[in-house]
A and B are shown apart, each in its own frame.
Chain A
Amino acid sequence: MTFGSVLLLMFSAILVENFIFSKFYGCCPFLGVSEHPDTALGMGMAVTFVMTVSGAATWAVYHFFLAPLHLEYLKTVAFILVIAALVQFIEMFLHRFVPALYSALGIYLPLITTNCAVLSSALLIVQKEYNFVEAVCFGFSAALGFTLAIVIFAGLRSRMTMADPPRAFKGFPLTLIAAGLLAMAFSCFSGVQF
Protein backbone atom coordinates (compact mmCIF):
# COMPACT_ATOMS: atom_id res chain seq x y z
CA MET A 1 0.00 0.00 0.00
CA THR A 2 1.39 3.36 -1.02
CA PHE A 3 0.15 6.90 -0.55
CA GLY A 4 -0.75 6.99 -4.23
CA SER A 5 -2.93 3.88 -4.05
CA VAL A 6 -4.86 5.32 -1.09
CA LEU A 7 -5.38 8.54 -3.04
CA LEU A 8 -6.69 6.59 -6.02
CA LEU A 9 -8.99 4.62 -3.73
CA MET A 10 -10.42 7.85 -2.36
CA PHE A 11 -10.87 9.41 -5.79
CA SER A 12 -12.66 6.34 -7.05
CA ALA A 13 -14.91 6.20 -3.96
CA ILE A 14 -15.89 9.86 -4.31
CA LEU A 15 -16.53 10.13 -8.04
CA VAL A 16 -16.28 6.87 -9.98
CA GLU A 17 -18.13 4.65 -7.54
CA ASN A 18 -20.25 7.36 -6.01
CA PHE A 19 -22.52 5.78 -3.43
CA ILE A 20 -25.67 7.44 -4.68
CA PHE A 21 -25.20 7.75 -8.41
CA SER A 22 -23.45 4.51 -9.26
CA LYS A 23 -24.32 2.19 -6.38
CA PHE A 24 -27.71 3.66 -5.39
CA TYR A 25 -27.06 3.40 -1.66
CA GLY A 26 -28.50 5.99 0.72
CA CYS A 27 -31.27 7.18 -1.58
CA CYS A 28 -33.60 7.74 1.37
CA PRO A 29 -31.69 10.64 2.97
CA PHE A 30 -30.67 11.76 -0.53
CA LEU A 31 -34.30 12.41 -1.45
CA GLY A 32 -35.57 13.23 2.02
CA VAL A 33 -33.08 15.79 3.29
CA SER A 34 -32.17 17.59 0.07
CA GLU A 35 -34.61 20.47 0.03
CA HIS A 36 -32.15 23.10 1.21
CA PRO A 37 -28.37 23.16 0.70
CA ASP A 38 -27.84 23.97 4.41
CA THR A 39 -29.65 20.95 5.76
CA ALA A 40 -28.14 18.79 3.02
CA LEU A 41 -24.67 19.84 4.13
CA GLY A 42 -25.58 19.02 7.75
CA MET A 43 -26.75 15.58 6.69
CA GLY A 44 -23.61 15.07 4.61
CA MET A 45 -21.40 16.01 7.54
CA ALA A 46 -23.25 13.63 9.85
CA VAL A 47 -22.91 10.79 7.32
CA THR A 48 -19.20 11.56 6.87
CA PHE A 49 -18.69 11.45 10.60
CA VAL A 50 -20.60 8.22 11.16
CA MET A 51 -19.19 6.42 8.12
CA THR A 52 -15.59 7.20 9.01
CA VAL A 53 -15.98 6.09 12.62
CA SER A 54 -18.06 3.04 11.74
CA GLY A 55 -15.57 2.06 9.01
CA ALA A 56 -12.84 1.89 11.65
CA ALA A 57 -15.06 0.20 14.26
CA THR A 58 -16.48 -2.47 11.98
CA TRP A 59 -13.02 -3.24 10.60
CA ALA A 60 -11.85 -3.87 14.15
CA VAL A 61 -14.95 -5.92 15.00
CA TYR A 62 -14.51 -8.05 11.90
CA HIS A 63 -10.81 -8.73 12.31
CA PHE A 64 -10.58 -9.05 16.10
CA PHE A 65 -13.98 -10.50 16.95
CA LEU A 66 -15.71 -12.23 14.04
CA ALA A 67 -12.70 -13.67 12.23
CA PRO A 68 -11.11 -15.44 15.26
CA LEU A 69 -14.51 -16.96 16.15
CA HIS A 70 -15.20 -17.98 12.50
CA LEU A 71 -18.45 -16.05 12.50
CA GLU A 72 -17.75 -14.07 9.32
CA TYR A 73 -21.09 -15.12 7.85
CA LEU A 74 -22.88 -13.12 10.56
CA LYS A 75 -21.11 -9.86 9.72
CA THR A 76 -24.28 -8.06 8.60
CA VAL A 77 -26.02 -8.61 11.93
CA ALA A 78 -22.89 -7.76 13.90
CA PHE A 79 -22.30 -4.56 11.91
CA ILE A 80 -25.86 -3.31 12.36
CA LEU A 81 -25.58 -3.94 16.10
CA VAL A 82 -22.21 -2.24 16.43
CA ILE A 83 -23.02 0.77 14.23
CA ALA A 84 -26.34 1.41 15.99
CA ALA A 85 -24.75 1.24 19.42
CA LEU A 86 -21.80 3.36 18.32
CA VAL A 87 -23.98 6.12 16.88
CA GLN A 88 -26.12 6.18 20.02
CA PHE A 89 -22.97 6.45 22.10
CA ILE A 90 -21.52 9.23 19.95
CA GLU A 91 -24.80 11.12 20.08
CA MET A 92 -24.83 11.04 23.90
CA PHE A 93 -21.16 11.98 24.04
CA LEU A 94 -21.66 14.97 21.73
CA HIS A 95 -24.76 16.10 23.60
CA ARG A 96 -22.79 16.23 26.82
CA PHE A 97 -19.39 17.53 25.74
CA VAL A 98 -19.69 19.19 22.31
CA PRO A 99 -23.14 20.86 22.31
CA ALA A 100 -22.29 22.99 19.26
CA LEU A 101 -21.55 19.94 17.12
CA TYR A 102 -24.56 18.17 18.61
CA SER A 103 -26.94 20.92 17.58
CA ALA A 104 -25.43 20.89 14.08
CA LEU A 105 -25.50 17.11 13.58
CA GLY A 106 -27.85 16.00 16.35
CA ILE A 107 -31.07 15.64 14.44
CA TYR A 108 -29.40 13.78 11.57
CA LEU A 109 -27.46 11.24 13.62
CA PRO A 110 -30.41 9.01 14.64
CA LEU A 111 -31.63 9.07 11.03
CA ILE A 112 -28.53 7.33 9.73
CA THR A 113 -27.83 4.76 12.45
CA THR A 114 -28.95 1.88 10.30
CA ASN A 115 -28.73 3.59 6.94
CA CYS A 116 -27.90 1.33 4.02
CA ALA A 117 -25.05 3.57 2.87
CA VAL A 118 -23.33 3.26 6.24
CA LEU A 119 -23.88 -0.49 6.41
CA SER A 120 -22.79 -1.09 2.83
CA SER A 121 -19.56 0.86 3.31
CA ALA A 122 -18.75 -1.46 6.24
CA LEU A 123 -19.59 -4.54 4.17
CA LEU A 124 -17.62 -3.31 1.14
CA ILE A 125 -14.59 -2.75 3.33
CA VAL A 126 -14.69 -6.43 4.30
CA GLN A 127 -15.46 -7.62 0.77
CA LYS A 128 -12.54 -5.72 -0.74
CA GLU A 129 -10.20 -6.87 2.06
CA TYR A 130 -8.93 -3.42 2.93
CA ASN A 131 -6.44 -2.88 5.74
CA PHE A 132 -7.22 -0.46 8.57
CA VAL A 133 -5.93 2.73 6.91
CA GLU A 134 -7.67 1.90 3.65
CA ALA A 135 -10.86 1.10 5.55
CA VAL A 136 -10.93 4.50 7.27
CA CYS A 137 -10.05 6.32 4.03
CA PHE A 138 -12.73 4.41 2.12
CA GLY A 139 -15.40 5.18 4.71
CA PHE A 140 -14.44 8.85 4.75
CA SER A 141 -14.26 9.32 0.99
CA ALA A 142 -17.40 7.33 0.20
CA ALA A 143 -19.23 9.64 2.61
CA LEU A 144 -17.61 12.67 0.96
CA GLY A 145 -19.05 11.41 -2.33
CA PHE A 146 -22.44 11.18 -0.64
CA THR A 147 -22.09 14.74 0.69
CA LEU A 148 -21.08 16.01 -2.75
CA ALA A 149 -24.09 14.35 -4.34
CA ILE A 150 -26.65 15.53 -1.78
CA VAL A 151 -25.36 19.14 -1.74
CA ILE A 152 -25.37 19.38 -5.56
CA PHE A 153 -28.86 17.93 -5.61
CA ALA A 154 -30.12 20.28 -2.89
CA GLY A 155 -28.79 23.21 -4.95
CA LEU A 156 -30.72 21.94 -7.96
CA ARG A 157 -33.88 21.42 -5.94
CA SER A 158 -33.78 24.86 -4.34
CA ARG A 159 -33.64 26.32 -7.84
CA MET A 160 -36.44 24.08 -9.06
CA THR A 161 -38.81 25.47 -6.44
CA MET A 162 -39.00 28.65 -8.52
CA ALA A 163 -39.88 26.73 -11.68
CA ASP A 164 -43.43 26.34 -12.87
CA PRO A 165 -43.66 22.80 -14.31
CA PRO A 166 -46.81 21.07 -15.59
CA ARG A 167 -48.96 19.94 -12.66
CA ALA A 168 -48.24 16.24 -13.23
CA PHE A 169 -44.51 16.86 -12.71
CA LYS A 170 -44.81 19.15 -9.71
CA GLY A 171 -43.00 18.07 -6.55
CA PHE A 172 -41.66 14.55 -6.29
CA PRO A 173 -41.84 13.42 -9.93
CA LEU A 174 -39.62 16.29 -10.99
CA THR A 175 -37.26 15.55 -8.10
CA LEU A 176 -36.86 11.95 -9.24
CA ILE A 177 -36.29 13.01 -12.85
CA ALA A 178 -33.65 15.50 -11.74
CA ALA A 179 -31.97 12.78 -9.64
CA GLY A 180 -31.90 10.53 -12.72
CA LEU A 181 -30.34 13.25 -14.88
CA LEU A 182 -27.74 13.97 -12.22
CA ALA A 183 -26.92 10.24 -12.01
CA MET A 184 -26.43 10.23 -15.79
CA ALA A 185 -24.05 13.17 -15.49
CA PHE A 186 -22.06 11.28 -12.87
CA SER A 187 -22.00 8.15 -15.02
CA CYS A 188 -19.37 9.83 -17.20
CA PHE A 189 -16.89 9.03 -14.43
CA SER A 190 -17.58 5.30 -14.75
CA GLY A 191 -15.23 5.08 -17.73
CA VAL A 192 -12.29 6.30 -15.66
CA GLN A 193 -10.02 3.36 -14.87
CA PHE A 194 -6.76 3.09 -13.04
Chain B
Amino acid sequence: MVALIQFTDVLIPVGIFAALGVVLGLLLAVAFKIFSVKTDERAEKILECLPGANCGGCGYSGCSGFANALAKGEAKPESCRSCKPAELAKIGEILGVEVKSSAPIHARVMCSGDCNTAKQLYVYEGVIDCFAAAKMGGGGKMCPNGCLGLGTCVSACRFDAIHVENGLAVVDPDKCTGCGACSKVCPKQIISMIPVSSAYFVACHSVEVGAKTRKYCDAGCIACKICEKNCPVGAITVNDFVASIDQAKCIGCGLCASKCPRKIIKKLH
Protein backbone atom coordinates (compact mmCIF):
# COMPACT_ATOMS: atom_id res chain seq x y z
CA MET B 1 0.00 0.00 0.00
CA VAL B 2 1.26 3.43 -0.90
CA ALA B 3 1.72 5.68 2.07
CA LEU B 4 -0.24 8.87 1.71
CA ILE B 5 1.87 11.99 1.79
CA GLN B 6 0.27 14.66 3.84
CA PHE B 7 0.25 18.15 2.50
CA THR B 8 1.91 19.52 5.61
CA ASP B 9 4.88 17.13 5.20
CA VAL B 10 5.91 19.18 2.17
CA LEU B 11 4.75 22.61 3.23
CA ILE B 12 6.50 22.74 6.60
CA PRO B 13 10.03 21.99 5.32
CA VAL B 14 9.53 24.40 2.44
CA GLY B 15 8.40 27.07 4.89
CA ILE B 16 11.35 26.39 7.18
CA PHE B 17 13.83 26.63 4.34
CA ALA B 18 12.25 29.78 2.96
CA ALA B 19 12.53 31.32 6.43
CA LEU B 20 16.16 30.16 6.68
CA GLY B 21 16.92 31.75 3.31
CA VAL B 22 15.27 35.03 4.30
CA VAL B 23 17.11 35.13 7.64
CA LEU B 24 20.49 34.44 6.01
CA GLY B 25 19.75 37.01 3.31
CA LEU B 26 18.86 39.63 5.91
CA LEU B 27 22.00 38.82 7.90
CA LEU B 28 24.11 39.32 4.77
CA ALA B 29 22.33 42.59 3.97
CA VAL B 30 23.02 43.87 7.49
CA ALA B 31 26.63 42.67 7.28
CA PHE B 32 27.03 44.48 3.97
CA LYS B 33 25.87 47.72 5.60
CA ILE B 34 28.25 47.29 8.53
CA PHE B 35 31.30 45.99 6.69
CA SER B 36 31.01 47.85 3.41
CA VAL B 37 34.30 49.38 2.27
CA LYS B 38 34.34 52.59 0.30
CA THR B 39 35.90 52.02 -3.08
CA ASP B 40 36.78 54.75 -5.49
CA GLU B 41 34.15 54.77 -8.23
CA ARG B 42 36.53 56.60 -10.53
CA ALA B 43 38.91 53.64 -10.59
CA GLU B 44 36.22 51.47 -12.21
CA LYS B 45 35.37 54.14 -14.77
CA ILE B 46 39.05 54.58 -15.63
CA LEU B 47 39.46 50.82 -15.98
CA GLU B 48 36.78 50.85 -18.70
CA CYS B 49 38.85 53.34 -20.72
CA LEU B 50 42.11 51.39 -20.43
CA PRO B 51 42.96 48.80 -23.09
CA GLY B 52 42.68 45.90 -20.64
CA ALA B 53 45.65 44.07 -22.11
CA ASN B 54 47.57 44.10 -18.79
CA CYS B 55 50.81 44.67 -20.69
CA GLY B 56 52.53 46.21 -17.65
CA GLY B 57 54.10 48.97 -19.72
CA CYS B 58 53.01 51.54 -17.12
CA GLY B 59 54.91 49.79 -14.34
CA TYR B 60 51.82 48.71 -12.39
CA SER B 61 50.40 45.25 -11.96
CA GLY B 62 48.00 45.29 -14.87
CA CYS B 63 45.30 47.74 -15.88
CA SER B 64 43.33 47.56 -12.62
CA GLY B 65 46.44 48.37 -10.58
CA PHE B 66 47.11 51.33 -12.86
CA ALA B 67 43.48 52.50 -12.59
CA ASN B 68 43.68 52.42 -8.77
CA ALA B 69 46.96 54.36 -8.84
CA LEU B 70 45.38 56.93 -11.19
CA ALA B 71 42.37 57.35 -8.91
CA LYS B 72 44.68 57.91 -5.94
CA GLY B 73 46.66 60.43 -7.94
CA GLU B 74 49.87 58.37 -7.76
CA ALA B 75 50.21 57.89 -11.51
CA LYS B 76 49.80 59.96 -14.63
CA PRO B 77 47.52 58.91 -17.50
CA GLU B 78 50.36 59.42 -19.99
CA SER B 79 52.15 56.42 -18.51
CA CYS B 80 49.82 54.19 -20.49
CA ARG B 81 51.43 53.81 -23.86
CA SER B 82 48.70 51.59 -25.23
CA CYS B 83 45.82 54.05 -24.70
CA LYS B 84 44.37 55.84 -27.70
CA PRO B 85 44.34 59.67 -27.39
CA ALA B 86 40.51 59.75 -27.17
CA GLU B 87 40.57 57.35 -24.24
CA LEU B 88 43.35 59.27 -22.54
CA ALA B 89 41.25 62.42 -22.84
CA LYS B 90 38.30 60.56 -21.27
CA ILE B 91 40.48 59.50 -18.33
CA GLY B 92 41.63 63.09 -17.97
CA GLU B 93 37.97 64.15 -17.81
CA ILE B 94 37.21 61.61 -15.08
CA LEU B 95 40.21 62.71 -13.04
CA GLY B 96 39.83 66.40 -13.82
CA VAL B 97 43.40 66.77 -15.00
CA GLU B 98 44.89 67.80 -18.31
CA VAL B 99 46.49 64.98 -20.23
CA LYS B 100 49.55 65.80 -22.22
CA SER B 101 49.71 63.40 -25.08
CA SER B 102 53.29 62.29 -25.51
CA ALA B 103 54.74 61.49 -28.92
CA PRO B 104 53.69 57.93 -29.82
CA ILE B 105 56.47 55.37 -30.05
CA HIS B 106 56.77 52.03 -31.77
CA ALA B 107 58.92 49.01 -31.23
CA ARG B 108 61.40 48.10 -33.96
CA VAL B 109 63.74 45.14 -34.15
CA MET B 110 67.25 46.42 -34.76
CA CYS B 111 68.36 43.40 -36.77
CA SER B 112 68.15 42.31 -40.39
CA GLY B 113 69.76 38.90 -40.00
CA ASP B 114 67.10 36.45 -41.16
CA CYS B 115 67.68 32.82 -42.12
CA ASN B 116 69.14 33.80 -45.52
CA THR B 117 71.59 36.49 -44.41
CA ALA B 118 72.77 35.57 -40.88
CA LYS B 119 75.36 32.83 -40.56
CA GLN B 120 74.69 29.93 -38.22
CA LEU B 121 77.17 29.03 -35.49
CA TYR B 122 75.41 25.74 -34.73
CA VAL B 123 71.93 24.25 -35.03
CA TYR B 124 70.03 25.04 -31.87
CA GLU B 125 67.60 22.31 -30.87
CA GLY B 126 66.43 23.19 -27.39
CA VAL B 127 63.58 24.87 -25.62
CA ILE B 128 61.88 27.31 -27.97
CA ASP B 129 62.79 30.40 -25.96
CA CYS B 130 65.33 33.13 -26.65
CA PHE B 131 66.59 33.21 -23.03
CA ALA B 132 67.35 29.49 -23.10
CA ALA B 133 69.10 29.82 -26.47
CA ALA B 134 71.08 32.91 -25.40
CA LYS B 135 72.58 30.87 -22.55
CA MET B 136 73.91 28.27 -25.00
CA GLY B 137 76.92 30.23 -26.19
CA GLY B 138 74.80 33.19 -27.20
CA GLY B 139 72.41 31.26 -29.41
CA GLY B 140 72.52 29.61 -32.81
CA LYS B 141 73.49 32.66 -34.83
CA MET B 142 77.13 33.69 -35.11
CA CYS B 143 76.33 37.36 -34.47
CA PRO B 144 76.26 38.01 -30.70
CA ASN B 145 73.81 40.89 -31.26
CA GLY B 146 71.44 39.18 -33.66
CA CYS B 147 67.78 38.30 -33.29
CA LEU B 148 67.49 34.66 -32.22
CA GLY B 149 64.04 34.38 -33.78
CA LEU B 150 62.60 32.03 -31.17
CA GLY B 151 59.73 34.34 -30.33
CA THR B 152 60.13 35.30 -26.67
CA CYS B 153 58.96 38.76 -27.76
CA VAL B 154 56.00 37.22 -29.61
CA SER B 155 54.69 35.62 -26.43
CA ALA B 156 55.32 38.83 -24.46
CA CYS B 157 53.21 40.93 -26.86
CA ARG B 158 49.60 41.30 -25.72
CA PHE B 159 48.53 42.94 -28.96
CA ASP B 160 49.62 40.29 -31.50
CA ALA B 161 51.89 42.93 -33.03
CA ILE B 162 55.20 41.07 -33.35
CA HIS B 163 55.85 37.90 -35.32
CA VAL B 164 58.83 35.82 -36.32
CA GLU B 165 59.26 35.78 -40.09
CA ASN B 166 62.09 33.77 -41.63
CA GLY B 167 64.00 33.60 -38.33
CA LEU B 168 63.65 37.30 -37.56
CA ALA B 169 61.16 39.12 -35.33
CA VAL B 170 59.17 41.75 -37.24
CA VAL B 171 56.88 44.37 -35.71
CA ASP B 172 53.47 45.03 -37.26
CA PRO B 173 53.27 48.85 -37.22
CA ASP B 174 49.45 48.86 -37.34
CA LYS B 175 49.08 46.77 -34.20
CA CYS B 176 52.06 47.98 -32.12
CA THR B 177 50.94 50.26 -29.28
CA GLY B 178 54.43 51.03 -28.00
CA CYS B 179 53.99 49.43 -24.58
CA GLY B 180 57.57 48.17 -24.67
CA ALA B 181 56.83 44.67 -23.33
CA CYS B 182 58.83 43.02 -26.15
CA SER B 183 61.83 45.28 -25.68
CA LYS B 184 61.96 44.38 -21.98
CA VAL B 185 62.05 40.62 -22.54
CA CYS B 186 64.53 40.51 -25.44
CA PRO B 187 67.71 38.87 -24.07
CA LYS B 188 69.76 40.53 -26.81
CA GLN B 189 68.16 43.92 -26.16
CA ILE B 190 67.80 44.65 -29.83
CA ILE B 191 64.20 45.87 -29.77
CA SER B 192 64.23 49.66 -29.54
CA MET B 193 61.36 52.02 -28.90
CA ILE B 194 61.51 54.81 -31.48
CA PRO B 195 59.12 57.69 -32.25
CA VAL B 196 56.44 56.87 -34.80
CA SER B 197 57.26 60.13 -36.58
CA SER B 198 60.79 58.97 -37.47
CA ALA B 199 61.39 58.22 -41.12
CA TYR B 200 64.27 55.73 -41.06
CA PHE B 201 65.95 53.41 -38.58
CA VAL B 202 69.11 51.29 -38.61
CA ALA B 203 68.13 47.64 -38.55
CA CYS B 204 71.37 46.35 -37.08
CA HIS B 205 72.90 46.37 -33.65
CA SER B 206 76.25 44.74 -34.30
CA VAL B 207 78.93 46.47 -32.22
CA GLU B 208 81.78 44.40 -33.67
CA VAL B 209 84.34 45.73 -36.14
CA GLY B 210 83.34 45.62 -39.80
CA ALA B 211 85.46 42.61 -40.70
CA LYS B 212 83.89 40.48 -37.97
CA THR B 213 80.36 41.61 -38.76
CA ARG B 214 80.99 40.70 -42.40
CA LYS B 215 81.74 37.12 -41.29
CA TYR B 216 78.64 36.92 -39.08
CA CYS B 217 76.02 38.23 -41.43
CA ASP B 218 75.34 39.46 -44.95
CA ALA B 219 73.05 42.17 -43.57
CA GLY B 220 75.10 43.71 -40.78
CA CYS B 221 76.44 47.22 -40.29
CA ILE B 222 80.13 47.17 -41.23
CA ALA B 223 80.71 50.76 -40.07
CA CYS B 224 81.75 51.95 -43.57
CA LYS B 225 80.46 55.42 -42.67
CA ILE B 226 78.97 55.98 -46.16
CA CYS B 227 75.71 57.03 -44.53
CA GLU B 228 77.51 59.40 -42.18
CA LYS B 229 79.30 61.08 -45.06
CA ASN B 230 76.20 61.34 -47.23
CA CYS B 231 73.77 62.69 -44.65
CA PRO B 232 73.10 66.35 -45.56
CA VAL B 233 72.14 67.35 -42.00
CA GLY B 234 74.64 65.27 -40.01
CA ALA B 235 71.96 63.19 -38.34
CA ILE B 236 73.83 59.88 -38.66
CA THR B 237 76.86 59.01 -36.58
CA VAL B 238 78.76 55.75 -36.44
CA ASN B 239 79.67 54.86 -32.88
CA ASP B 240 80.88 51.44 -31.69
CA PHE B 241 80.94 50.26 -35.32
CA VAL B 242 77.21 50.72 -35.79
CA ALA B 243 75.30 53.61 -37.35
CA SER B 244 72.69 55.43 -35.36
CA ILE B 245 70.22 58.08 -36.48
CA ASP B 246 69.49 61.16 -34.39
CA GLN B 247 65.74 61.32 -35.01
CA ALA B 248 65.60 64.96 -33.89
CA LYS B 249 67.90 66.02 -36.74
CA CYS B 250 66.74 63.59 -39.43
CA ILE B 251 64.77 65.21 -42.26
CA GLY B 252 63.75 61.92 -43.85
CA CYS B 253 65.46 62.50 -47.23
CA GLY B 254 66.31 58.80 -47.55
CA LEU B 255 69.79 59.35 -48.94
CA CYS B 256 71.36 57.10 -46.30
CA ALA B 257 69.00 54.24 -47.11
CA SER B 258 69.75 54.42 -50.82
CA LYS B 259 73.54 54.65 -50.30
CA CYS B 260 73.87 51.91 -47.66
CA PRO B 261 75.78 49.01 -49.29
CA ARG B 262 74.25 46.47 -46.88
CA LYS B 263 70.68 47.80 -47.23
CA ILE B 264 70.06 47.85 -43.49
CA ILE B 265 68.79 51.41 -43.13
CA LYS B 266 65.08 50.83 -43.45
CA LYS B 267 61.98 52.95 -43.80
CA LEU B 268 59.87 52.94 -40.65
CA HIS B 269 56.53 52.62 -42.48
Contacts and interface: CB of A to CB of B under 8 A. Distances in A.
B17 interface: yes
Interface stretch (B19-27, B40-48, B49-57, B207-215): B19-27
A109 to B, nearest CB: 14
Interface stretch (B31-39, B157-165, B180-188): B31-39
A96 B27 contact: no
Nearest to A95: B37
B127 interface: yes
Contact of A89 (B16, B20, B27, B127): B27
A74 interface: yes
Given A89-B27, A89-B28, A93-B31, A162 B127 contact: yes
Task: Tell me the interface secondary structure of chain B in the complex.
Answer: helix
Interface residues of A, number: 18
Contact of B17 (A77, A88, A89, A164): A77
B129 A71 contact: no
Contacts of B25: 85
Given A82-B24, A92-B32, A95-B35, A164 B128 contact: yes
B16 A71 contact: yes
Nearest to B129: A162
B35 A74 contact: no
A78 B35 contact: no
Interface in A44-74: 69, 71, 74
A81 interface: yes
A74 B16 CA distance: 11
A77 B18 CA distance: 11
Contacts of A93: 31, 35
B96 interface: no
B73 interface: no
A164 B32 contact: no
Interface in B224-254: none
B199 to A, nearest CB: 41
Nearest to A61: B20
Contacts of A95: 35, 37
Nearest to B126: A164
A18 B68 CA distance: 41
A166 to B, nearest CB: 13
Contacts of B31: 88-89, 92-93
A160 B246 CA distance: 45
A110 B111 CA distance: 48
A157 B37 CA distance: 37
A42 to B, nearest CB: 15
Given A95-B37, A162-B127, A88 B20 contact: no
Given A71-B16, A93-B35, A164 B127 contact: yes
Contacts of A162: 127, 129, 132
Contacts of A77: 17
Nearest to B21: A81
Given A85-B27, A92-B36, A163-B127, 12 more contacts: A71-B16, A78-B20, A85-B24, A85-B25, A88-B31, A89-B27, A89-B28, A92-B28, A93-B35, A95-B37, A162-B132, A164-B128
Interface of A: 69, 71, 74, 77-78, 81-82, 85, 88-89, 92-93, 95-97, 162-164
15 contacts: A69-B16, A71-B16, A74-B13, A81-B17, A81-B21, A81-B24, A88-B28, A89-B28, A92-B32, A92-B35, A92-B36, A95-B37, A96-B34, A96-B35, A97-B35
